[in-house]
Chain A
Amino acid sequence: DETSAGKDEL
């Protein structure tokens, strides 16, 4: 979803 854009980063 939109809010998880950065979640591939650690």
Chain B
Amino acid sequence: MNIFRLIGDMSHLLAIVLLLLKMWKTRSCAGISGKSQILFALVFATRYLDLFTAFISAYNSTMKLFFISTSLVTVYLMYFKFRATYDANHDTFRLEFLVVPVGGLAFLVNHNFSPLEILWTFSIYLESVAILPQLFMMSKTGEAETITSHYLFALGSYRALYILNWVFRYYFEGFFDLIAVVAGCVQTILYCDFFYLYITKVLKGKKLSLPA
């Protein structure tokens, strides 16, 4: 554990808490892509199956349980409790266009051809593109609530901080996981346009609106 990894995890945690708070306080999930949230639930469910096969640390297990449970709660809130506020008309990204190619790639490019390892790889690849339905939705509506922008900034920062963590681990521990690093870089790059808008607009007190 290094400082980048720790801040990255905390940023990830903050993102999820922000999203849940937004939904709970406003009793609404307007502006949030349910499809991205389904993908995140799938990401956690397929990645953390090792909860049952390996114990790494109390921190590790607690965080995994937190991510799995909160992602399920988020999906529940969106599709059941606050379903009336869900903006399905703008959430039209086709999930099969992500899940099918990512599944195929996980079969072809992995560290070890075993069920758990393929599911872990699937999860890493899927996470890297899971935000696309959300970004697609924002590009259709042309805007995002400020709290949603904070959520996305925290969520995007998490993987960017993991990249610094991997640089650190490469130099000081000789650790290098090509699959995680490439997918993490792809994931971070997808957020760059949003990061730019966040810094130039939201941090200056303006609402995030996309150029027409």
* Min CB–CB distance A3 → chain B (angstroms): 4
B175, A7: Cβ atoms under 8 Å?
no
What A residues does B120 contact at CB under 8 A?
7
Query: Which residues of A lie under 8 Å from residue B114 when comparing CB positions?
Result: 3
**A5 & B175 in contact (Cβ 8 Å cutoff):** yes
- The majority secondary structure among interface residues of chain B is helix
The dominant DSSP class at the A interface is helix
Check B26 for interface membership: any CB of A closer than 8 A: no
Instruction: Please give the distance in Å from B179's CB to the nearest CB on chain A.
Output: 8
Assess whether B111 is in contact with A7, with CB atoms less than 8 Å apart.
no
Contact among A5, A6, A10 for B9, CB-based, below 8 A:
A10
- Measured between C-beta atoms, what is the minimum distance from B164 to chain A in Å? 13
Instruction: Identify which of B54, B63, B67, B162 contacts A7 (C-beta below 8 A).
Output: B54
Residues from chain B with Cβ under 8 Å of A5 in the complex: 175, 177
**Is B50 within 8 A of A3, CB to CB?**
no
Complex contact B117–A3 (CB within 8 A): yes
* Interface residues in B, total, Cβ within 8 A: 22
Question: Do A9 and B117 have beta carbons less than 8 Å apart?
Answer: no
Q: Are B112 and A7 in contact (CB under 8 A)?
A: no
| Inter-chain contacts of A6 with B (CB < 8 A) | 175, 177, 179-180
Total residue contacts A-B, CB cutoff 8 A: 30
B60 near A8 (CB under 8 angstroms)? Answer: yes
Q: Which residues of the partner chain A approach B165 to less than 8 Å between Cβ atoms?
A: 9
Q: A3–B175 contact, CB under 8 A? A: no
Q: Which residue of A lies closest to B57 (CB)?
A: A8
Q: With both chains docked as a complex, state the minimum distance between the C-beta of A4 and any C-beta of chain B, in angstroms.
A: 7
A1 to B175, CA, bound (A): 14
Most buried by B among A2, A3, A6, A10: A10
Please, which residue of chain A has its CB at the minimum distance from the CB of B111? A3
A-B contacts, 10 listed (Cβ < 8 Å):
A4-B50, A4-B54, A5-B175, A6-B177, A8-B57, A9-B5, A9-B165, A9-B180, A10-B63, A10-B64
Chain A residues within 8 Å of B, Cβ to Cβ: 2-10
Q: Which 6 A-B pairs have the closest CB atoms?
A: A6-B177, A3-B112, A3-B111, A6-B180, A8-B56, A10-B63
